[in-house]
Chains A and B, each alone.
Chain A
Amino acid sequence: MANFSKSNVPQFSVEVYQNEYLPEGGREVNAIVTVTSTGGGTVGSAVAAPHLYTPGQSPDAAVAIMVDCSGSMDYPPTKMRGARDATAAAIDALRDGVHFAVIGGTHVAKEVYPGNGELAMADARTREQAKQSLRKLSAGGGTAIGTWLKLADRLLSSVDVTIRHGIVLTDGRNEHESPEDLKAALDASAGRFTADARGVGTDWEVKEVTAIASALLGTADIVADPAGLSADFTQMMETAMGKEVADVALRLWTPVDTSIKFVKQVAPTVEPLTDRRTEAGPRAGDYPTGSWGDESRDYHVCVEVPEAGIGQEMLAARVSLVIPQGDGTAQALGAQGLVRAVWTDDMTASTSINPQVAHYTGQAELAQVIQQGLDARKAGDADGATAKLGRAVQLASASGNADTAKLLAKVVDVVDAAAGTVRLKAKVAEADEMTLETRSTKTVRVKK
């Protein structure tokens, strides 16, 4: 099949928000890099009317849906039913021509559809067949997500497509393989396909699910009520269908004697990237960002530059977007952003903090204190939990992160949001706590 992916590569733009002015002796340069991709008019309609797309016109994609079929899915039975309905809904959202497979997961992975180690190509007939085959799904067995991912990787890599995406649905802990096995499977899959992970019910481990999404550059969420699965799966699949370019990397060039303190995605969610650097030539490194549709993400880059005298100016980092190719080269996506450092003795200039940097520093702290507060709460440290969650309430309120503030209010009684005064709730629904933890990394953008 002809590969039209090149023509479908969206346009990327890079904007840098920073206060480039450093005081004498200043070394730390912070910048928020906003990356926006806009496709050639394909994405909006790809989402709204996927069936209008014929192969070749839209980015070719392959999707694997991994449904937990462990024994716990029958308790209550609505979970299995919800999973079947959700999978059916996701299949309905498949664009014609997209390769897909359904995997039933227990302590081993089974091909539910189409089988024989192949992928089906979506059309009316295969969609119907796939939905029929969902009836075969039954609960029974353990949970070993690593095996599901390995099978998904094998199936997805059997076709030559631009976008490879997986959806993982689980309802329990990954009990039937070691954490190392899961980690090995994630490492093997990272960069080969992206995946969203969903936990249904409240018996799953938040950190496991978020780790899967994080490693595979997808989203993680909780679907406490199985009835909500269908809508969520449909939305996930539509997002996947909107992706136009995969394996995009944020390339950071820094001058000699400059060190990168951290790189993290800060919007739409906080996602540390510092440790995921791949060297890309002299003084440059790539940070994976996964696949992109029509969207905009923000990254916080912090670099430490050598000292320079007042009046000096240097380029602290050059930010670009590339698609690394297998042979060591990279396809540049055009846009570039410059992070600069200018030393000045104007204290007004050097002491001001860029609003974007301040905002996302706050959002990153918000995610961190929620995590720390919930950990302290689980460990029985009420004082620590109160302090951390109080700070979280304060940050969420100040930054206008209303969604997170709402979730926090289900875990603590807010006495004074501005001051961060809270009381731990005596009784907290497990679903609420898990929702807060799963969604703690969600950020809001700075008001412009």
Chain B
Amino acid sequence: MSQMPQLAACPSCEEPLESGDRFCGACGYDLSAVPAPPDDHPTITMNGSAPRPPSAAPAVAGAAPVPPVTAVDWPVAPEADSSGTPAAVVLPADIEGRESGGSDSPGVRFDRPAGSPAPPHTQSSALPPERSQPPSPAQPHARPQGQAQGQPQGHVQPPAHTTAPGPAPASAHGSASGSAPASAHRSGPGSDRASAHGSASGPAQASAHAPGHAPAPAAHAAAEPDEYPLAAPLPPEIPADELPTVEVPTLDAPLADPRTADLATPAAGLKVCVACRAGQVDRDGYCENCGHAQPRERDHMEQELDAVAAVSDRGLRHHRNEDAFTVSATALPDGSPAVVAIVCDGVSSATRPDEASLAASRAAGESLLAALPCGTHPQQAMHDAILAAAEAVNSLADPAASAHEHQPHVNAPACTLVGAVVTPTLLVVGWVGDSRVYWVPVDRSAPPARLTEDDSWAAQMVAAGLMNEAEAYADERAHAITGWLGADAYELEPHTASFKPDRPGVVVVCTDGLWNYAEGAEEMAEVVPPDAADRPLHSAQVLVGHALDGGGHDNVTVAVLPFPAPQQGAGSA
């Protein structure tokens, strides 16, 4: 929490302040005391190091350490990566048949994209036996149906298709979903989680799991058509404007573009330097007297919609903000709202990371806004959005342009991406890199959870069983990322997962600029204000403030989305 001394005016530039200001509005002076910097681990890529065999890759990524949480009845992040192969586009009509899992049975089901190239037990075997596994996640799944909230708790729908690398996603679907994550997380000694899992879920689900790690027959998936709780998608031929969309405010791209936020750079000659208050600002954004760079529009950005808010800040140690975000809201074909947040963190060892993050967040946001109203399954839509973002970032790599960059590192522009889609019943996350999603229940007696697994060196080390979590994260390479969007990325492996939270809560989508200061899910939950679901913007501000109070060593970006997405009526603004 940021506790600001109440000052009447900025100590640096005498600009009058408003209560609650964390920065001077004129000069950007940080009004909070800056504590001693913690160990900072800037996001860097590890080109060339720690290569991993493609087959093991998904498992490794998914096997990153999960914060040990006792008595969680929310699942830890499932293994739901898409193994780098572009998913087959799922037509809306296909969705139903593809849904694995039977009814809305309570109990958590981890979704595993169908048709993922490695059979589930391959995933399992790729996991290190010694991987520390929180014992708790297995328990909730074993719960009888209808227990607790009576909701399908942590029920992860198996949209499988997300990552489906081409061949017959549907057939593999049933088996892959649920079983794979279970085995992945169970890692080695006995897949009791899988069995627990199976028992918790409905009969159909159980049967899906029963074959265990063998490919399920295609008929299997087809046998459970009505499992997916969202309304049946409309055929794609129906024009979007005829869709019974709920009037949830839909931001079009320009609005979602942080650059067009009302933080325009003042025209040259009209503004006095915020640093020396003596010179005017030239056209290049520098003071004509003292030469100091002026605050830029991206230094601090905030955006709020009804059911989502995001805040991004340059932080205290970086000279520019290389993070970017998109928040938007749309409606599914059945009229229920879908809220989208995308957060990207530019890789600072690459060139033009700020452009990369901006391009990625915009592309992903636009892709989701286009896909969701058409009935594309949210997890598939997320997968496609990541691919669209990757393409946008790749297109920034321009050999001719990079020749003019005389930076110490001349890498193609790159960034991480993390996104969340919240509907009234479903929570879908997707990510590449080390930006994260946390789940914080409104009822704080229920445990929070982290829903993503970093593509990072430390996560890989732990996953490979080469180090324990403490050792891995103590290493200076810990935060080197092993997956990113960019022309120089290895084979892109978008990870997606979908959840059916059994209780209301908030989804925190953030870059490492925040989670460096609240790593564990419990720590994060402590920082999230109790009223986060009601005041997302305030919560995002508080979270950014937490990172700045901790030293603000990196750019900080946070999006906060309440779950479930509020039904129509809330979206009046």
- Residues of A with Cβ closer than 8 Å to B? 17-19, 21, 254-258, 283, 305, 308, 310-316, 338, 342-346, 348-349, 352, 354, 356
* Extra contacts besides A19-B408, A311-B318, A315-B292 (16): CB < 8 Å: A17-B406, A19-B406, A255-B290, A255-B291, A256-B276, A314-B286, A314-B293, A338-B284, A344-B318, A344-B319, A345-B40, A345-B553, A346-B42, A349-B408, A349-B409, A352-B408
Query: Is the CB–CB distance between B315 and A311 below 8 Å?
Result: yes
- Known contacts A346-B42, A346-B348; A315/B284 CB under 8 A: yes
Contacts A18-B406, A338-B284, A346-B42; A311 near B290 (Cβ below 8 A): no
Q: Are A256 and B290 CB-contacts (below 8 A) given A311-B319, A315-B284, A343-B319?
A: yes
CB distance from B397 to the nearest CB of A (A): 20
**Whole-angstrom distance from the CB of B413 to the nearest CB of chain A?**
16
Q: In the bound complex, do residue B289 and residue A256 qualify as a contact, i.e. CB atoms below 8 Å apart?
A: yes
A311-B316 contact, Cβ under 8 Å, with A17-B406, A346-B42, A354-B406? yes
- In the complex, are the beta carbons of B287 and A255 less than 8 A apart? yes
Chain B residues with CB under 8 Å of A315's CB are: 284, 286-287, 291-293
- Chain A residue, CB-CB nearest to B37: A345
CB distance from A172 to the nearest CB of B (A): 48
From known contacts A19-B408, A349-B408, infer whether A305 and B291 are also in contact, taking CB-CB under 8 Å: yes
The CA-CA distance from A174 to B314 in the complex, in Å, is 64
Are A312 and B348 CB-contacts (below 8 A) given A255-B291, A257-B290? no
Q: How large is the interface on B (under 10, 10 to 19, 20 to 34, 35 or more residues)?
A: 20 to 34
The 8 closest A-B pairs by CB, nearest first: A255-B291, A315-B286, A313-B293, A315-B291, A352-B408, A314-B291, A313-B319, A314-B292
| Sample (20) of A-B pairs whose CB atoms are under 8 Å apart | A17-B406, A19-B408, A21-B408, A255-B289, A256-B291, A257-B290, A308-B292, A310-B317, A311-B316, A311-B317, A312-B293, A313-B292, A314-B287, A314-B293, A315-B284, A315-B286, A343-B319, A344-B317, A354-B406, A356-B406
Complex Cα spacing A5 to B189, Å? 86
**Majority DSSP secondary structure for residues of B touching A:** loop
Bound Cα distance A166, B121 (Å): 86
CB contacts (< 8 Å) of A254 on chain B: these are 291
Q: How far is the CA of A257 from the CA of B287 in the complex (A)?
A: 13
Can you list, as one digit per residue, whether each of B155-173 has a CB less than 8 Å from chain A (1) or not (0)? 0000000000000000000
A284 to chain B, nearest CB (A): 11
CA distance A19 to B287 in the complex (A): 21
Q: When chains A and B are docked, how far (Å) is the Cα of A18 from the Cα of B406?
A: 7
- The 8 Å CB contact of A258, one of B284, B286, B291, is B291
Pairwise interchain contact A342-B406, C-beta atoms closer than 8 A: no
- In the complex, the answer to whether B292 meets A312 with C-beta atoms within 8 Å is yes
- Listed residue (A18, A313, A354) with the most chain B CB atoms within 10 angstroms of its CB: A313
* Residues of A with C-beta under 8 A to B284: 315, 338
Secondary structure of the A contact surface, majority rule: loop
How far is B348's CA from A348's CA once the two chains are assembled, in angstroms?
12
Residue of B nearest to A346 (CB): B42
User: Nearest CB to that of B348 among chain A residues?
Assistant: A346
Residue in chain A with minimal CB distance to B553: A345
Assess whether B291 is in contact with A342, with CB atoms less than 8 Å apart. Answer: no
What per-residue 1/0 map shows which CB atoms of B289-317 lie under 8 Å from chain A? 11111000000000000000000001111
List, in ascending order, chain B residues with CB within 8 A of A346's CB: 42, 348
Alpha-carbon separation in the docked complex, A348 to B292 (Å): 23
Task: Pick from B284, B287, B292, B409 the residue with the most CB of A within 10 Å.
Answer: B292
A318 to chain B, nearest CB (A): 8
In angstroms, Cα B407 to Cα A344, docked, is: 13
Set of chain B residues within 8 Å of A258, measured between Cβ atoms: 291
A342's closest neighbor in chain B, by CB? B319
**Do the beta carbons of A316 and B316 come within 8 Å of each other?**
no
**Cα-based distance from A255 to B276 in the complex (angstroms):** 11
- What's the Cα separation between A256 and B553 when bound, in Å? 29
- Chain B, range 239-284, C-beta contacts under 8 Å to A: 276, 278, 284
Residues of A near B42 (CB, < 8 A) are 346
